[in-house]
Structure 1
Amino acid sequence: MLDAMSGAADTTKPQGMGGFEETLKDFWVSRPRRPLSGRKVAGVAAGIGNRYGIDPVLVRVAFVAATVFGGVGLSVYLLCWLFFARVDDEVSPVEALFGRGRSSMPKAGTIIGLIALFPLSGWVFGNGWFDGGAIIGLALLVTAIYLLHRSRGHENRPIATTPAATTFAMAAPAAQTDDPLGAAPLAWDLPDPEPVVSAPPPVRPPRAPRRKSKIGIAVFGIALLVAGTGFALGTTGETWFSAQHIIGLVLGVLGIGMVAGAFAGGGRGLIWLAVPLSVAGVALTTVPVESYAGGFGDINATPATVAEVQPVYAHTAGDIHLDLTRLPADAVVGTRIHSGAGTTTVMVPSNADVTYTCHVRAGNVDCFGQATDGLRRPAVSGTDNGTDGPGGPRIQLDIEQGAGTVEVHRG
């Protein structure tokens, strides 16, 4: 009964190998405990790694990946922080909030963490972050923990910390005035009570020191080889080997190396290369800058004739300001603006008939009052004849931009 109350599991049967419901119950009873050493923030990743015998670096990579590609990693980490007890605590911070035991986290901190979950989860799941990536990331994290517990739930089961028992001194019985045995009470020869010996808590054997492995150096060398080969093929005209694809290949090599290092030892330093590459990959996927040529800097153009209007205004990054208000009244022109990043502003005559398409992959669009804002929003297109109706210069605009702001208005 005491074992059941303290959360200790029955060791006579395999743990974590039953049905779905039994596995979840056993996970809750024997959930990881946050250690005091080897932690980076709250010890969640270290606790999961210690519990299931894997490298905590691999767990941290999973949290970072779930945060970058979906945003759910931060919410799950905060939940684990609130519901995983520290090794020297009796219960988790949330359980301590309801008076079920002692926790080192102040109750005010627990309340703040619970309150922070609501806006954080609303931001992740309510804004369509990466088109459903939050739900996919949450499903992958839960599935990974479930499979880990089914395969390794019987190992390294944490030892629950229980409150110290309170002992009370028994009062000595009052001396009897009549001695029915015919002897003084001090002369009675009674056996001494056996001392109560409390069993020492089980001691977990220390972990064997990790042997040094050269897997990190080997994986880093392979990653460099893959990156160099991809770059060389890209320069020869192989369009598939773009910056995004090369980064994806390198991240795949690093991911395989970190998984292997989690079980074989080594490869911890690869995370410092994988994280910035992941951020760069997301940025390049959102804004493919390699498709925007033309150099850097600002473009300012005020053509006064049709011949002065260039068919294409293109550059990689910078501001474009195109003033078409000086065109003659009978002008018929068309131009295309292709920019990687920056601010593009086009001014047209007040009486011009304009057919337009404005598209920004990441940023803001305001073309004749039609506006979009955000990532991967649809293009804005239409025809605007001005307040005077059809007549006047005829202009066709096709604006494509990677990131920044696009504005088209009348001068």
Structure 2
Amino acid sequence: MRTHADCRMLLVMSGANAASSSPGPGGFEETLKDFWASRPRRPIHGRKVAGVAAGIGNRYGIDPVLVRVAFVTATIFGGAGVSLYLLSWLLFPGEYDEVSPIEALAGHHRSSMSKGFTIALIVLFFPLTSWAFAGGWFSGGGVIGLAMLVTALYLLHRSRGQFNRPVAPVVEKATGAAFSMSSSAPSAERSSSWDPLGAAPLGWDLPDPAPAPTPPPPRKPAPSRRRNSAVGLATFAVALVVAGVGAALGSSGVTWFSVQHIIGLALGVLGVGMVTGAFLNGGRGLIGWAIPLSIAGLVTTAVPISDYTGGYGNITAVPHTAAEVQRVYQHTAGDIDLDLTRLDATAPVTTDVRNGAGNTTVVVPANADVRYSCQVQAGNVDCLGNQSDGVGRAAVTGTDLGPDGVGGPQITLNIRQAAGSVEVRRD
């Protein structure tokens, strides 16, 4: 028959064996269960908004800046980043919380987030998610962005889930050990073991104390975050080659290689390099290139530059006769300088100028009668003193006869540009 001491020894030995076994990668289902059991905790210090990126970085021993860039990029291209961030906010518990906000809302223990704020986040989550997946957020690639983020998080847990496993706060429960003392009176013939307090000797046989909780196993230190410059240099070189080849193919007439596609390809290369650098502890310098490229991608996606073709570079034209004036001056990106001051006054002139991104300048004779329509999707317009600036503004139209009134060359200008500036002035 085992004594209480033997039972306590068995409990301690079994707890030590359980603590020493680290979770293996297992299959897909086991990985998901282990992720949920050891999911990141949102820290109090080092957070920017809710601590989701900082929690993921601390959990898997990577730079939180890389996680933030991934969320921002997925938000710009598709809108899934903000939806997944809100979902992580609801499912990841705080650093000192017992459960996550969504679990606390269901009545399972305590969270520092109020129930009202949790409900507000849930209400905000659904319209943002539906907008992203319905294609209303710029490029509409919400499904692709969500798949990439979830896959990256899954691979992180598979490869680095053994590091920095969080220890949840102990939930205290009210417990007590009840015992009773016999009040039977002693016999007339008192023995030497008689209890002077009037209790039976067996009444003081208290239960053995519960075994002390086994301390959690020490955290395995994450590998040091040393910089691996080779990853960054190789990724940057490949991104340059991809962008250069795409620009060359676009200039040669391959319409698929638009500005948006070239920026997207370069960002894809940088993203692969940053994910690789997260595993090899390097490539942080790529963030400085990914952020401006993301902004450029946002602008080119919101502004329909793909409607403009004709290659890249600058166009300078100085026609001397009406026959030399082209019907359309068109460019994808670059500056267009059109000088019409050398024209003779024998025939009216009509021309269209279309530019994707850059600066367009048209100079007309001082005595010309000019009818114009100038429009820029994002930028500023100054057509013979008629000005406009901003995003999505209507075309600036009008007729300007010059200081001499009616007479002189008759010129009709139709200028349409995606981004940049348009100027029409007299010589």
Q: TM-score per shorter chain, which class? A: 0.5 to 0.7
2:26 corresponds to 1:17: yes
1:38 Cα deviation (Å)? 4.0
Tell me the CA shift for residue 69 of structure 1.
0.7
Question: Which amino acid counterpart does residue 335 of structure 2 have in structure 1?
Answer: A
**In the alignment, which residue of structure 2 is the partner of 1:120?**
128
Q: Which residue is 1:199 aligned to? A: 213
Equivalent position amino acid for 1:261 in 2? G
What one-letter code is carried by the residue in structure 1 that aligns with 2:128? L
Note if contact 1:30-1:158 (Cα within 8 Å) is conserved in structure 2.
yes
Deviation at 1:77, TM superposition (A): 0.5
CA distance in 1, matches of 2:21, 2:100: 26
Partner of 2:278: 262
Q: Contact 1:50–1:56 at 8 Å: present in 2 too?
A: yes
1:83-122 → structure 2 map (5 Å cutoff)? 83-122=91-130
* Structure 1 match to 2:69: 61
Shift of the 230–172 alpha-carbon distance from structure 1 to 2, 3 Å rule, reads closer
Structure 2, unmatched stretches of 5+, are: 1-17, 306-311, 314-332, 340-344, 384-390, 396-411, 421-427
Deviation (angstroms), 1:25? 4.0
- 1:293 and 2:335 aligned: yes
The Cα of 1:28 is off from its aligned counterpart by 3.0
Contact (CA 8 Å) 2:229, 2:282: kept in 1 or not?
Answer: yes
Asked if 1:210 corresponds to 2:227, the answer is no
Residue ranges of structure 1 left out of the alignment (5+ in a row): 1-8, 300-304, 328-332, 347-361, 367-395, 405-411
Find the residue that maps to 1:402 and give its secondary structure.
strand
Name the aligned partner's letter for residue 402 of structure 1: A
Q: TM-score, normalised by structure 1?
A: 0.62
1:32 matched to which residue of 2? 40
Which amino acid in structure 1 is aligned with residue 93 of structure 2?
A: A
Deviations 1:307-328, CA, capped at 9 Å, x for gaps:
34342346745899x9xxx99x
What is aligned with 1:4?
none
Give the C-alpha shift of residue 193 in structure 1.
5.2
- Aligned residue number for residue 320 of structure 2: none
Paired with 1:234 and 1:73, the residues of 2 have a C-alpha distance of 29
What amino acid is the match of 2:352?
V
User: What percent identity do the matched residue pairs reach?
Assistant: 47
Q: Is the 8 A contact 1:313 1:338 kept in 2?
A: no
**Hey, what's the Cα distance between the residues in 1 that align with 2:168 and 2:58?**
15
1:216-365 mapped onto 2 (5 Å cutoff):
219=232, 223=236, 251=267, 254-284=270-300, 286-288=303-305, 291=333, 293-294=335-336, 307-313=347-353, 316-317=358-359, 341-342=378-379, 363=392
Q: Any conservation in 2 of the 1:341–1:403 contact (CA below 8 Å)?
A: yes
Aligned counterpart, 1:375: none
RMSD of equivalent CA atoms: 5.3
Task: Within 5 Å, give how 1:30-179 maps onto structure 2.
Answer: 30-153=38-161, 156-168=164-176, 170=178, 173=181, 175-179=183-187
| Deviation (angstroms), 1:230 | 7.4
Q: Which amino acid aligns with 1:76?
A: L
SS in 1 for 2:349: coil
Change (3 A) 1:197 1:119: same
Q: Residue 62 of structure 1: SS of its match in structure 2?
A: helix
Question: Which amino acid in structure 2 is aligned with residue 40 of structure 1?
Answer: K
Deviation larger for 308-317 or 106-115: 308-317
TM-score by length of 2: 0.60
Cα–Cα, structure 1 residues 341 and 151, in superposed 2: closer, same or farther, change >3 Å?
Answer: closer
Describe the shift of the 1:243–1:133 C-alpha distance in structure 2 as closer, same or farther (beyond 3 A). Answer: closer
Q: 1:310 to 1:365 in 2, by over 3 A?
A: same
AA aligned opposite 1:215: S
Question: Would you say how many aligned residue pairs link Structure 1 and Structure 2?
Answer: 344
Distance 2:126 2:181 in 1: 61
User: Matches of 2:133 and 2:242 in 1, distance apart?
Assistant: 39
Shift of 1:98: 1.6
Quick check: 2:235–2:273 contact (8 Å CA) kept in 1? no
Q: 1:83 to 1:242 in 2, by over 3 A?
A: closer
Structure 2: distance between partners of 1:226 and 1:25: 37
Q: Give the drift of 1:79.
A: 0.3
Per the TM alignment, residue 93 of structure 1 is displaced from its structure 2 partner at its CA by 0.4
Deviation at 1:89, TM superposition (A): 1.4
